[in-house]
Amino acid sequence: MSNLNIYKRQGFGEKSGFKGKSALLMVDFVNGFCDPEYYGGGNIIDAIKRTRILLQTARELKIPIAHTRVVYESDGSNKGIFCEKVPGLERLTENAYISQIVDDLTPEPNEYVVRKTQASAFFGTGLVSWLIARNIETLVITGCTTSGCVRASVVDSMSYNYRTIVVTDCVGDRAIGPHEANLFDMQQKYADLYSADEVISKLKEQNPKVLSGKQ
């Protein structure tokens, strides 16, 4: 029996789908994570290009949008074990170039920027309160890396009972093997996988009044 058949036989991989209001979360698309000289590489640049299209649609549809950055105090006072596992992360300070969101995805004034010190966008941040205030039921996630901060955010999103969507061509990793393995695993347990085109179509279905100019 193949591994995939084992998952199917045991009941993994069902769909949770889109329901209610959706929000878009873009995880750690910052300069340092798109540059292979720092923490980037692989297919992250391609993921940024695709996310730019999705972001434009979300803005047109007036969907709530959140971005995340890893930000440590310049004196290192809030760094922890994460920085011991990945020495140099403490360079991602508030004003450091490598901690700034890439130009193609620069947040607009009404978009929420989450500053975090751990992998998950939820851990020790105000993200849940922000989502609750906007009555969000479905969270669409893009970002990098697939096997790291995206995965951690996806697991926490599902744990908070959000219907969680991972946009397959809008997430990236510095190596393709971990990227593909984590997409497979997240689909089986924690999230639904959709392409950017499929997500755009779903979001338009959810927000017809915005498209018609009636809202």
Positions marked catalytic: 149
If we measure between CA atoms, which residue out of 196, 85, 184 comes closest to residue 143? 196
Torsion, Cα 50 96 75 71, to 10 degrees, reads: -20
Peptide linkage before 93 cis (omega within 30 of 0): no
If we measure between CA atoms, which residue out of 17, 41, 20, 54 comes closest to residue 144? 41
Going from the C-alpha of 74 to that of each of 71, 89, 91, 119, the distances in angstroms are 9, 11, 8, 19
Distance CA 169, CA 179 (A): 11
Alpha helices in 94-175 (DSSP H): 127-133, 151-159
Distance CA 93, CA 115 (A): 10
Task: With both helix axes pointing from N to C terminus, report the angle between 196-206 and 44-60 in degrees, rounded to the nearest 10.
Answer: 10
If we measure between CA atoms, which residue out of 187, 149, 190, 203 comes closest to residue 171? 149
Looking at residue 67, its amino acid is H
